[in-house]
Amino acid sequence: MKTSKIESQLGYTFRKPELLERALTHRSWAHEEFPGGSDESIRDAANESLEFIGDSVLGLVIAEELFNKHPTLDEGDLTLMKHHLVSMTTLSTISDGLKLGTHIRMGRGEEKSGGRQKPALLADTLEAVIAAVFLDSGYISARAFVNKIFAEHLRAATPQSSLDYKTLLQETLQAKKLSAPTYSIMRTEGQPHARTFFVEAAWDAGRSEGSGRSIKSAEMMAASEALKLLENGIGTMEV
């Protein structure tokens, strides 16, 4: 894999390009490249372990940056903003902007199913790339990289822009004299350390779905989708 074009898009040049190659390698590609290979060989070729590291590095960088930028905010507001910034939605948006999807090595089946546009896959890949930068040159470089690619989102982040959609949905339904929403897990996908949860929000007159890297974030996305439906007059029949 030639990495110079990708490095140009990322604005970072790797001393160990093989780290970037691994960060851009999906498990489906490793399965096809090493048919009959052991779980260990496939794991070593794919980016799943890097996602685990990248998630931790990203969380620390974002927490540090929010603390420095908003020293007067309380823990609740900072947590709400951090949750929004490290959500699958934000990560996949940034990943798409960096065009990571065009460079991911994935199996033919995954590609045919639209893998290059899947938010969860794009988010996972971005976390793996962050880990690759961290392993290539340490935390200071990783922090600079994260701050650069998240700059626009960090500038726009406020407690108000990172609303608790679940609370807002409950208040909206209450105002319309509808019952409070209930949330249920529909299914989960992925490995234990990189799992995606799919959740349904249901109320008297409607339902919506959301997905996320945690149950809480999936519920938030389901609530966000419910609010969009309600704004369009869907699911508003009064009881």
How many Å apart are CA 66 and CA 47, to the nearest integer?
Answer: 28
- Which residue among 21, 55, 65, 136 is the active-site one? 55
- Which residue among 48, 51, 110, 127 is the active-site one? 127
How many Å apart are CA 8 and CA 140, to the nearest integer?
Answer: 20
Kindly report the CA angle at 215 between 214 and 220, in degrees rounded to 5?
100
Instruction: Report the DSSP beta bridge partners of residue 11.
Output: none
Active-site residue flag, 127: yes
Number of H helices, E strands in the chain: 13, 3
Contact between 117 and 101 under an 8 Å Cβ cutoff? The reply is yes
Active-site residue flag, 231: no
Report residue 221 as tokens. Answer: 């996305």
How many Å apart are CA 166 and CA 39, to the nearest integer?
Answer: 39
How many Å apart are CA 24 and CA 5, to the nearest integer?
Answer: 13
Task: Kindly give the interhelix angle for 48-69 and 139-149, rounded to the nearest 10 degrees.
Answer: 70
Report residue 47 as tokens. Answer: 């980016």
DSSP E strands: which ranges in the chain? 182-189, 196-203, 206-212
* Active-site residue list: 55, 127
